[in-house]
């Protein structure tokens, strides 16, 4: 298992985050999109997983009133299966709870069973389906939701 540190993303990480994004998605976000998230979107918060001073994964969320929408989560192919996605999601859930968010939501490809299992480990439940959500192949997406309680529950 790779030794990784999870920390808040800054605009200085955008170049490496873009490489992770490009290695992970058929229609990746651009460097400009990530720069916009860092510098102009006050609702956006991202975390990166760093191994040997290299960004090997990231996760992002938009906080909308008292809920969070997970925008993307990705790990470089050669680092997958080592628990990094789990660490990133754990950090995001901790952050969401600290901000008093009551729930988190995301979309996931119907075919991405590995990601679905990860989300379900964190209490996410399937709450719907978006038909033809993904533009690259018109694949449907499942909508997942997780309710967040306070630490004292």
Residue 151 is a catalytic residue: no
User: Backbone phi, then psi, for 103, in 5-degree steps?
Assistant: -165, 160
**Choosing from 16, 21, 46, 119, which is the catalytic residue?**
119
Distance CA 142, CA 46 (A): 22
**Choosing from 91, 107, 134, 139, which is the catalytic residue?**
107
What distance lies between CA 124 and its chain's CA centroid?
Answer: 13
At CB < 8 A and 24+ separation, what contacts does 71-74 make?
71/37, 71/44, 72/21, 72/25, 72/29, 73/115, 74/20, 74/21, 74/23, 74/24, 74/25
SS3 26: coil
Residue 139 is a catalytic residue: no
Maximal CA-CA distance, the chain: 43
Q: Which residues are catalytic?
A: 107, 119
């Amino acid at each position: 298992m790779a030794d990784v540190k999870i920390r808040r993303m800054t605009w200085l990480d955008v170049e490496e985050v873009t490489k992770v994004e490009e290695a992970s998605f058929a229609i990746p976000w651009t460097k400009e999109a990530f720069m916009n998230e860092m510098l102009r979107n006050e609702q956006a918060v991202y975390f990166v997983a760093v191994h040997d001073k290299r960004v090997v994964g990231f996760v992002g969320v938009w906080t909308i009133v008292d809920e969070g929408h997970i925008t993307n989560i990705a790990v470089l192919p050669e680092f997958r299966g080592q628990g990094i996605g789990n660490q990133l999601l754990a950090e995001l859930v901790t952050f969401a709870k600290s901000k008093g968010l009551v729930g988190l939501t995301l979309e996931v490809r119907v075919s991405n069973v590995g990601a679905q299992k990860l989300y379900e480990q964190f209490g996410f439940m399937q709450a719907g389906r978006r038909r033809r959500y993904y533009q690259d192949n018109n694949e449907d997406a499942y909508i997942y939701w997780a309710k967040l309680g306070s630490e004292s529950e």
